[in-house]
Amino acid sequence: MLTLDDIRSAAARIAGAVVRTPFLHSQTLSRLTGAEVWLKFENLQFTASFKERGALNKLLVLSEAQRRRGVIAMSAGNHAQGVAHHAARLGIRAVIVMPKGTPNSKVRGTQVLGAEVCLEGESLAEAAKFACEHAAREGLLLVHPYDDADVIAGQGTVGLEMLEEHPQLDCLVVPIGGGGLIAGIATAARSLRPEIEIYGVESRSWSAMYQRLNGLPVSVGGDTIAEGLAVRDVGEMPLAIVRGKVREVLLVEEETIERAVVALIEIEKTVAEGAGAAGLAALLDHPERFRGKRVGFPLCGGNIDSRVLSAVLMRGLVRDGRLVRLLVDMADISGSLAKVATMIGDAGGNIVEVQHQRVFGTASVKRPEVEFVIECRDREHAQTLLAALRANGVRVTQG
């Protein structure tokens, strides 16, 4: 089994080639969640993910013959970039197999780092099958993203740093994809502080580790913004470590992951991908577990597609009532639109978009429906604005 000495050796091996990321207390998130919250900013690594720790540790223990052969890895993105970056730096050929649905930002980021990218399969499991076959054909060494002792030891350096800086923590909350990160962190943390509680986090639709631990058949799937959690086949080595060292695996809703991404940008001014925000999502969905405790969690990645991030932020505004859509039935006469716009402005609303609908769904061609998208301070302000329009005789509904 993996030991603390293995993780300390990995830390010495990778020192200077990866960032010892900040581990900071958040006053605002502490007030929001009722816990004392510390954040480990792994999204500040060169590849914006903790994954390069394990990838580098694995590459550094290869023999000269293995380096000459080259390596292959399957990954939805972050492990790919970690392997690509450090393989290029060390002069090792790297082939990366990614599922076809991998976000463009991660595909492009991996190619820029110098790796040969193959898009194969609809899932990580299918990509893994192709990677194993391709490795056999070309004599490449497979660098598994999570079911490898050297990779897990590298990931465990995250936990080592967290406990070295704040040994008083009561619990750690760690996202689970294949299980390498939580296996490494749990080994380091429980060795340094046996009484510390370790919690895992999975998306409710991708909960393979939870199902394996509870003797359930693995049934996962569906769209998620947390691609790093979307793993069907968790590692057998991580599974064994999690069984012995992790208190509980918590499931979180997709909407809560989105809320966590938005909160981290608005509060901490930092970008986290879905998996990177999963620790905060667990605190938001399960506050009773952590209230009053000193909690640390890694922001394990920041590689989120720009288009997805934009949509998440806008959906967050809608969810909080800060962006509302109003449908106004008004007479098609000169000045009617200006009057309604003036009322909205007087009530403190900021008009973002206006669109006339004269063909679909209108009772009369003489009374078009006008759609306003309006920025408000909060949900209460939106209701006040709606009431003000109605009080002035405007026929309006909230869309």
CA distance 327 to 345: 16
pLDDT, averaged per 10 consecutive residues of the chain (399 residues), comes to 96 98 98 98 97 98 96 89 95 93 80 91 87 93 95 98 97 97 98 97 97 96 92 95 97 97 97 97 97 98 92 94 92 88 95 83 70 95 95 91
Cβ–Cβ < 8 Å for 389, 374: no
Query: What is the model's pLDDT at position 368?
Result: 80
Cβ–Cβ < 8 Å for 261, 272: yes
| Strand partners for 37 | 26, 295
CA angle 97, 101, 104 (to 5 degrees): 85
Closest CA to 384 of 324, 308, 297, 307: 324
Our measurement of the distance from residue 20's CA atom to the centroid of its chain's CA atoms, rounded to an integer in Å, reads 20
> 3-state class of 93 per DSSP?
coil
Retrieve residue 202's tokens.
């999975």
What CA–CA distances, in Å, run from 327 to 48, 65, 355?
Answer: 42, 69, 10
Q: What domains sit in the chain, N to C, each tagged with a CATH number?
A: 4-50+153-315 (3.40.50.1100), 54-142 (3.40.50.1100), 321-398 (3.30.70.260)
CA distance 317 to 321: 6
Closest CA to 347 of 311, 377, 385: 385
Query: What is the model's pLDDT at position 298?
Result: 98
Cβ–Cβ < 8 Å for 359, 329: no
pTM of this structure: 0.90
CA distance 4 to 1: 10
CA distance 394 to 382: 15
Fill in the DSSP letter of residue 21. Answer: -
Query: What is the model's pLDDT at position 359?
Result: 66
Query: What is the model's pLDDT at position 346?
Result: 95
Other Cβ atoms within 10 Å of 8 Cβ, number: 16
Closest CA to 392 of 344, 356, 327, 354: 344
Cβ–Cβ < 8 Å for 209, 239: yes
CA distance 395 to 209: 52
CA distance 252 to 173: 12
CA distance 344 to 7: 60
